[in-house]
Structure 1
Amino acid sequence: MARRRTGLALRAALAGLLAFVPAMPGAVLSAQNVAGTDPYTNEVIETVQIRIANPSQDEALNDRIEDGVRRAVSVFPGERFSQQKLDFQLAQARRIRDVGGLKYDIEPAATGGLNIIVEVTIGETAAPEGRGMAFGGKFPTLYEKDGTYVRFKLDLFGLYYSNNNAWYGEPDQLLAGNPLVAGEPAGEGYDDWVEAYAHYGIYGITPLNEGTYVYAGVSAITAASVGQELFSDESRSFTGIEDAYVGIVGGNTDEDGNRFSYNVTAGRQRFTLANGFLIANTAANGSDRAALQANARWASDFLGLARLRWNNTMLEVFYLDPDELPIVDSRTSYAGVNLEFQPSANLTVGTSFVTSPESDFNYFSPVGGIAGTREGLRVYDARFNYVPNGPGAQGPFFGGEIAFQDNANFDMSAHAGWAEVGYSFPRAKWSPAISYRVSKFSGDDPDTATFERWDPMLSGGTGEQWVQGANHFKVVQNSNVIAHRIQGRLRPMRMIELVPQLWAFRADSLNNIGGNPALTFLSDKEYGYEANMTAKWFASRNLYVHGHVAYTWPGDAVEAALAGAEKGWLSTMLFVRYAF
């Protein structure tokens, strides 16, 4: 037994020399993005309802107003939610004749998306002198007149996080060589910390002509961390620019109801490709930036995006330079094209191609040395998703995705994919929905010359997207892993949602070079298991409260790597977000 442990220690030491050179960014990012601090942005819109609060006895008038608002708002099921876009579109809808007032609400939908409810009050159209603080109106609208709309954004956030036996109580082994470690990281026993941030800025849109608008946004984030977090016990604060972008958007709806729109934008901003399986975390948190678990920053250093939409078909072309931490900047950029369409109202199909035109990120071979770099990476992706059609619809939901990676500069062939099936009972008590998902991200076979380890790129998002396990994801990112998830959704009250999850994790290959150094050479494929519970309270459109508790216990692979010194890992988190 002693000889076995000595051999494991020697192999881990060898791996440590390889795994934390330029390959480190992926492992660094794996410790964040559990909270999902903004419960709305980029979530899939499942339903859009236009309601008239004081309907007229003239049905033709009601129909005209409802149709006009629907066209002006131009938000449809299957799209991803953007508060800025909806605010801009509502400003245009308020100019419609006989629309006296407009407001909207957001509800969690049955299968994890959003229901958007727009309420219209029939009355006298807005006064020509304008709205907003410039005209004696209410905050946060600064100016609204003749199609020009300018608003202030403020997002305030506070988080409490705790761990008992973080890193399975063995931080010295699981964080060996990690450049984010400063001072004393969390580890054996109980550790906790507090994070907070304020995100503030100005966003606006103005017409160039009928149907064409220019928009822009600029914002900053001030963040702070105090206590003993995962990597450090040093108190930190940081202020930096977040959004800084401009764009042009336009389109029209013809007499037959066909919708065409375009959006061209460039600058610092957030980007999610489809469901986040490939690209979600376009900025990094933690280190000197603080707010590791709060996930304050999402804006990339630069995004150039052109989006065209014809009815339910969307084409995106993008170039992305993520905002990486300076201490582990791999100088990676991505470019790609994405096509999505809806053959039916409840079925979405998509395909993507992504490449990395430049990068210093290294892939390591099982025999030592560098197998190649991310530069030249090519990713081919296809996916589909089916949900019950309409608000309150009961029935099955299911989806799947398959992706392949190769590289123009060396012999690489990796693959990943997932399949999910579930059933929603929105009319039953607590509106339950239950689903099972299996996902696989390939590992590298040391017996072949081809490099087969899946590159997770910028995968992530939230604990219901591609953060697989609140604790486990921090140790094993989305590479060389097979994950089984059973997930439920319960709605004890209309604006309260509970999301329990059960996870089982296995390695695809015993060779894990490029992952956590302590787990470089595995003696077993059983990574471990996790049970967690998330509670969400959508108190109002402005106030959101979120908490979770997670317990993770190691499997035989981790027990062998840590020589039996491992302990079960318990984490708890609670945060409050107020935004307008």
Structure 2
Amino acid sequence: MVRHDVRGRSLVTAAILSAVLGCGAAPALADVSLYDANGLKIDGAFTGGVSLLTSPGAQFGAGTYSVPGAPTHRISGRPSWSELFLHPELKASYDTGSFGSFYGDVSAQLTATGGDGDASLVSTTYGHPVLLDVENLYAGWRSGKVFGDLLDEDGLDLSGGRQSFRVGDGFLISSGVANGGQRGGWWNQSRTAFNQTGLAKVSKGPFRADIFYLQNDTSQDKMYNLDQAKTQVVGGNFEIFENADKVEGGPERNGATTFADRKWYVGLTYFNVINAKSDGQFSYGSGFGRQAGNAYTVTNTITSNRDGMNVISAHLGGNFLSAVPDFSLYGNVVYESNDSAGKKVDANAWYIEPGYQLSNVAWTPKLSYRYAHFSGDADPNNQTKTAYDPFFYNAVTRGYGTWFMGEIVGNYIISNSNVNVHMLNFSVNPRDDLKLSALAYIYNYDEKSQYSTGSTLVTSDSLARELDLVAEWAITDNVSLSAAAAVAESGRGYRDYLKTQNAGLGAKDELWWLGETSLVVKF
């Protein structure tokens, strides 16, 4: 299946990105103080990690390839690879006393991928890519007590530059960069910063509002399908929340700035795409369907037709019922529309995820179920695209399965478009520092005809089934280790899909295995 631009991770990545975002699922450690006097404070931080992965039976036996478009050079049927990232960071702030505080952040990232690259049908991280580049470069001002009781302390936060930004649990907005190609790091997903941002964050009590301008990083957009369309959006986000209970001996909870500090939240987001690249591989619509003999259709331009698009999203999550504190509910619904001439879009996505934890039972077992829907396109040859555009999703908040649903299928097949996913997640905590999880998935195409070409038809909705077993161990406050084993079985629909890509690839039905382990250090 066509690779999308952003891939995500697990709780380990949440720990990685908590240093970058300042509001990940894992609690951020205190930075290393380098200077603190006369209102000026300079801190350093570092996050680094190494991951090892192997995947026998990749692509259900078809293997992975190195040539985009029409796979011809087979890399391996059981790719094995490693990923490394190093992320040093320098932060500075100056407290003026009466007029708030100014702050800035600069960081770099080194990423490297070895071995066979990733297990996608076409592996863009094959060839040992290494990249050293700027990650954060931004500055801002926080209001302190300037507005008195009108806003919270630091209730107005203005910033701009190259930085990360997320809404809710990252279903729609959480990463501004694709991690394939020379950026490497396909599994770790440690790069998340948007290339340009302008942010205004306002908070008062249980309310938070954001006004944002975002432009994604598309420095690889001239390479085949390695980036999204270059996109500039302007929008707003409004949320109401309740802070989680304070942990004895811990700091006060602040749900306005820290996602993990919320007991529950409800939010509404809107943005308009004020400019987006719409030519070349990002073209779609009248004259670009298969009947016109052109390759640019919805199947390889999921991020097309963005220019002028309107996107509205409602989201919620957390423990809403005080009488039943072990019950949780998460959900999100997104509607995308575009009426611009030649760029018609009418697409949607949504998910619902109830869960229940037995907090008074040994090992605190938790069970949750999620159904996620991402619309597909029944007729890629007409003038309206109904396949959902997942925009800037990533996995930085709630662990494995958010928002890359499945260590195999979620990372190396689906793109959170034209798919419906059932997920069952069961976890236990034998110790405070150890979490064990089992996740089961069933994947079905939303519109199987989206991938049919000529006489080669996708005849079934069935895409795949998958089972993941995961262990996450917080060795110390600074060191985390995770390991996972996964197995997936292809469905008739995906075997048909492989035939549409290359006659020599279908119909593969081997079991696809994956083993992975990752060590992360942060301070």
Aligned mate of 1:554, from 472, 483, 490: 490
Map of 1:72 onto structure 2? none
Higher RCO, 1 or 2 (CA under 8 Å, sep at least 6)? 2
Q: 2:274 aligns with which of 351, 357, 360?
A: 357
Q: Is the 8 A contact 1:140 1:152 kept in 2?
A: yes
Superimposed CA distance per residue, residues 382-432 of structure 1 (whole angstroms, 9 cap, x where no aligned partner): 122241679x98421113222111014143211110111111112211111
Residues 462-473 of structure 1: pairs in structure 2 closer than 5 A: 463-473=400-410
Give the match for residue 39 of structure 1. 14
Q: Which amino acid aligns with 1:577?
A: V
- Residue by residue over 1:77-119, the C-alpha shift from the partner in whole angstroms, topping out at 9 and shown as x without a partner, is xxxx667869xxxxxxxxxxxxxxxxxxxxxxxxx9557999x
Tell me, what secondary structure is at the counterpart of 2:60?
helix
Q: Which amino acid aligns with 2:508?
A: A
Structure 2: state its 5+ residue gaps: 245-262, 298-303, 499-505
Tell whether 2:314 aligns with 1:382. yes
Q: 1:146 to 1:490 in 2, by over 3 A?
A: farther
SS in 2 for 1:511: helix
- What letter matches 1:245 in structure 2? Y
Note closer, same or farther for the CA distance 1:521–1:35 as it changes in structure 2 (3 Å cut). farther
Query: Partners of 1:158 and 1:424 in 2: how far apart?
Result: 32
* One-letter amino acid of the structure 2 residue matched with residue 223 of structure 1: T
1:456 and 2:390 are equivalent in the alignment: yes
Distance 2:330 2:366 in 1: 15
Tell me the CA shift for residue 449 of structure 1.
5.6
Q: C-alpha distance in 2, partners of 1:255/1:359?
A: 41
Match of 1:340 in 2: 239
Q: Is the 8 A contact 1:504 1:529 kept in 2?
A: yes
Deviation string, structure 1 residues 253-290 (Cα, Å, up to 9, x no partner): 96899666011111111111221111123112232222
Q: 1:343 to 1:538 in 2, by over 3 A?
A: closer
Please state how far the C-alpha of 1:334 moved relative to its aligned partner: 2.2
**Pick from 189, 193, 197: which aligns with 2:81?**
193
How many Å apart are 1:294 and its aligned residue? 2.0
- How does the TM-score come out when normalised to structure 2? 0.80
List, as ranges, runs of 4+ consecutive aligned residues in structure 1 with deviation greater than 4 Å: 81-86, 112-118, 181-184, 253-260, 343-346, 364-372, 517-521
Specify the code of the residue in structure 2 equivalent to 1:150.
Answer: I
- 1:567, CA displacement in angstroms? 1.7
User: Could you say if the C-alpha distance between residues 311 and 394 of structure 1 is closer, same or farther in structure 2, counting changes exceeding 3 Å?
Assistant: closer
Q: Distance in 2 between matches of 1:526 and 1:171?
A: 20
1:294-309 → structure 2 map (5 Å cutoff): 294-309=188-203
- 514, 519, 522: which one pairs with 1:576? 519
Q: Does 1:244 align with 2:244?
A: no
Aligned 1:82-231 pairs, distance under 5 A: 113=25, 140-171=32-63, 177-178=68-69, 185=75, 187-188=76-77, 190-210=78-98, 212-230=100-118, 231=123
Q: 1:291 to 1:561 in 2, by over 3 A?
A: closer
More helix by share: 1
Partners of 2:394 and 2:402 within 8 A in 1: yes
Deviation at 1:461, TM superposition (A): 1.5
Distance 1:84 1:201 in 2: 12
Deviations 1:282-305 (A, max 9, x none): 112232222222223111211211
Instruction: Provide the rounded CA distance (Å) in 2 between the counterparts of 1:117 and 1:217.
Output: 17
Q: 1 CA distance for matches of 2:88 and 2:27?
A: 26
Paired AA for residue 353 in structure 2: E
2-side partners of 1:510 and 1:199: how far apart? 41
The residue identity in structure 2 corresponding to 1:382 is: A
Closer/same/farther in 2, CA of residues 490 and 248 from structure 1, 3 Å limit: same
Give 1:478's aligned amino acid: N
- Structure 1 residues 255 and 445: CA distance shift in structure 2, 3 A: closer
2:438 to 500, 509, 529: 500
Aligned to 1:564: 507
Supply the AA of the counterpart residue of 2:167: L
Contact 2:11 2:25 in 1 (8 A): no
Alpha-carbon contact 1:394-1:427 (below 8 Å) kept:
no
Alpha carbons 1:559, 1:566 under 8 Å: kept:
yes
Instruction: Give, as a single letter, the amino acid of the residue that structure 2 aligns with 1:440.
Output: H
In structure 2, the CA distance between the partners of 1:191 and 1:206, relative to structure 1 (3 Å rule), is same
- The SS at the match of 2:327 is strand
3-state SS in 2 of match to 1:575: strand
1:166 touches 1:570 (CA, 8 Å); kept in 2? yes
Deviation at 1:547, TM superposition (A): 1.5
Equivalent residue of 1:412, what SS? Answer: strand
Distance 1:420-1:519 versus aligned 2 partners, 3 A rule: farther
| Partner Cα distance (2:456, 2:314) in 1 | 31
Q: 412, 420, 442: which is aligned to 2:353? A: 420
- Paired with 1:518 and 1:261, the residues of 2 have a C-alpha distance of 58
TM-score normalized with structure 1 length: 0.73
Larger-gyration structure (1/2): 1
Structure 1 stretches of 5 or more lacking a match?
Answer: 1-18, 43-80, 87-111, 119-138
Report the Cα offset of residue 579 of structure 1.
1.1
- Choose from 438, 450, 459 the match for 2:371: 438
* Rounded Cα–Cα distance in structure 2 between residues aligned with 1:389 and 1:149: 41
CA RMSD of superposed structures (Å): 3.3
Quote how far apart the aligned CAs of 1:149 are.
1.8
State the one-letter code of the partner of 1:319.
Y
Q: Which amino acid aligns with 1:221?
A: Q
Distance 1:415 1:366 in 2: 23
Q: Is the 8 A contact 2:482 2:518 kept in 1?
A: yes
Cα distance in 2 for partners of 1:430, 1:319 equals 44
Alpha-carbon distance, 1:466 to partner: 1.3
Percent identical: 20
State the 1:450 CA deviation. 3.7
Query: Number of paired residues?
Result: 465
